[in-house]
Amino acid sequence: MNIFVMMLVLILVATFLALLVPIIRGMKIERRIKDICMWKGYRYYGENIPDAHFLFQGTGMDRGDRHRAQYGIGRRIEGLDIRFFDWEVIHEDDENQWSEYFKVAAIHKQFNFYGYIHVRREGMLDKFDTIFGSNDLDFENKAFSDRFFVRANPERFGYDFFHPRMMEVFLEFPDVNVIVTGRSIVIFQRGSFAQRGTLLRIFEGEKPIQTWIDGTTYMLVKIHKNIPKIMLPHKGPLIQGDARRPQPESR
């Protein structure tokens, strides 16, 4: 009996240690990430990304049964607070659960009119849709119209936003997915932004993700600088536009 009890105790201790070690390792990694973020001029949010769910309200990125924002970091540049994080859209039915992952770079921005824009690289199927009728906005800049599929509601919001200088900004970034609402500008792409271990590698020279962070930062700064003043609020409440919004697509 004593041998049985000792074996049981050893099994319990081994199980406890097996569960404890990853937790301690994760805490050490998280502590190191926080220190590196501070040194590099970033802020570490983890899963506590301010207003992450608010950014996606009514955009179609809030579809699914549950959502989770995680692996968040932020930086402040030229007066903008930019947040980078993973956005997980969780789908459930009676038997299965599955997730879609998006990496996100976003800022809050208040406009004086509530509208919705989704812009992405135009594909071959979009060209056929245009032939048979779609709400892809058409612009005088042929290079821009040929490269991007732009949906807006109301259309006025899209046409006001995409003046010639703004189109030139987007032409610098041909493979983007961008959502603009009356309160935010969001760049997103399918795939995971990071995990705790990956975040360490980002700051130690992981170039693909660092390039994405730098590129989206540069784009958000340029978009922000070129927003038409007529679209920005002076005083008074936000004017509500049409509540129906097209659903974003990621290709």
31 and 68 inside one domain: no
Identify the residue whose tokens are 């493979």. Answer: 175
33 and 50 inside one domain: no
8 and 50 inside one domain: no
Per the structure, the complete domain to which residue 67 belongs is given by 43-231
146 and 219 inside one domain: yes
Query: What is the pTM assigned to this prediction?
Result: 0.76
* pLDDT beyond 80 at 201: no
36 and 57 inside one domain: no
Asked, for residue 236, whether it belongs to a domain, the answer is no
Which residues share a beta bridge with 194?
none
Binned at pLDDT 50, 70 and 90, residue 59 comes out as: confident
124 and 211 inside one domain: yes
Q: How far apart are CA 174 and CA 1, in angstroms?
A: 72
Asked, for residue 238, whether it belongs to a domain, the answer is no
* pLDDT beyond 90 at 168: yes
Asked, for residue 164, whether it belongs to a domain, the answer is yes
130 and 65 inside one domain: yes
97 and 153 inside one domain: yes
Asked, for residue 249, whether it belongs to a domain, the answer is no
When pLDDT is averaged across residues 50-66 and rounded to a whole number, the result is: 78
Residues 6+ apart with CB under 8 A from 24: none
pLDDT given for residue 244 in this prediction = 45
Asked, for residue 62, whether it belongs to a domain, the answer is yes
As for how many domains the chain has, the answer is: 2
pLDDT given for residue 158 in this prediction = 93
76 and 9 inside one domain: no
pLDDT given for residue 208 in this prediction = 62
170 and 189 inside one domain: yes
105 and 209 inside one domain: yes
Number of neighbouring beta carbons within 10 Å of residue 87: 26
2 and 71 inside one domain: no
Q: What is the pLDDT of residues 102-124, one digit of tens each?
A: 889 999 988 987 889 999 888 65
What are the backbone angles phi and psi of residue 84, rounded to the nearest 5°?
Answer: -120, 135
Asked, for residue 49, whether it belongs to a domain, the answer is yes
Higher pLDDT among residues 83 and 208, named by residue: 83
